[in-house]
């Protein structure tokens, strides 16, 4: 009976822990024998970039020596290059400062920059013609400053902003040879402003309603509140002399 009870307990315990999910700590490392084996990398053969070569021909990739000959100016340079080099890299060796000014000709045919040297029928000891192109730099065109335009609201009426100019011209005279001078009387004492009647003018300025209407009118005429506030202060400063009289 004791053995059957122990067997039943073990069976129940195993069934209970089997249904529980397996959790591992953060520092858990899987044993190496349980890891998947690395997939072997297969070595692929090299495929030549020569697309225009015949299928049965083999190009040697050993370095060759070419003679680059220039007529203007007359010069000759021997350079050892690799058939796998591009034409642009060879131009960079001939003229590191400006390879775009170099043009290479092989038997009267221009060599393209993006092609390999082995794509052309070139052999060790061949002569390649070299032409230096004249590159003229265009003169810089001065930039015109763009006019600054201030956008005005569509509902704001346009105002006259020009300052009127006063020109004094001599009055026409009977004689066309000699103009008549204009006589101007300059009075150093400016005329004293006439004070309005205090009965109506002072009473109108003393009303707060008048100043409220004036401020509303200025806000409708000026585009910004700061301009309307400044104009209102100017009117108020000018009216203080009458209000304090």
Q: d(Cα 87, Cα 122) in Å, to the nearest integer?
A: 12
pLDDT for 172 equals: 54
CA distance 105 to 128: 6
Q: How far is 141 from 239, CA to CA, in rounded Å?
A: 58
Q: Which residues of the chain have pLDDT under 50?
A: 54-57, 136-139, 150-152, 166-168, 196
Q: Are 73 and 131 in contact (CB under 8 A)?
A: no
Quote the pLDDT of residue 174: 53
> In angstroms, rounded to a whole number, what is the distance separating the alpha carbons of residues 217 and 209?
12
The reported pLDDT for the residue numbered 105 is 87
- Per-residue CA distances from 191 to 15, 54, 186 (Å): 119, 110, 12
Beta bridge partners of 64: 81
């Amino acid at each position: 009976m004791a053995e059957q009870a122990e067997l039943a307990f073990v069976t129940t315990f195993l069934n209970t822990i089997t249904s529980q999910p397996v959790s591992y700590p953060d520092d858990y490392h899987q044993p190496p024998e349980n890891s998947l084996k690395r997939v072997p990398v297969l070595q692929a053969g090299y495929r030549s970039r020569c697309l225009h070569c015949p299928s049965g021909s083999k190009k040697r990739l050993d370095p060759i020596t070419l003679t680059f000959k220039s007529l203007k100016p007359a010069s000759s340079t021997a350079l050892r290059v690799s058939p796998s080099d591009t034409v642009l890299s060879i131009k960079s060796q001939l003229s590191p400062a400006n390879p775009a000014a170099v043009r290479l000709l092989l038997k009267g045919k221009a060599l393209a920059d993006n092609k390999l040297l082995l794509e052309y029928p070139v052999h060790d000891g061949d002569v390649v013609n070299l032409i230096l192109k004249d590159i003229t730099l265009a003169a810089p065109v001065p930039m015109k400053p763009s006019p600054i335009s201030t956008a005005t609201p569509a509902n704001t009426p346009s105002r006259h902003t020009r300052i009127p100019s006063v020109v004094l011209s001599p009055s026409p005279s009977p004689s066309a040879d000699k103009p008549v001078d204009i006589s101007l009387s300059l009075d150093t004492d400016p005329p004293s402003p006439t004070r309005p009647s205090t009965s109506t003018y002072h009473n109108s300025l003393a009303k707060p309603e008048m100043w409220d209407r004036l401020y509303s009118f200025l806000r409708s005429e000026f585009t910004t509140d700061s301009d309307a506030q400044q104009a209102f202060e100017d009117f108020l400063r000018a009216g203080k002399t009458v209000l304090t009289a």
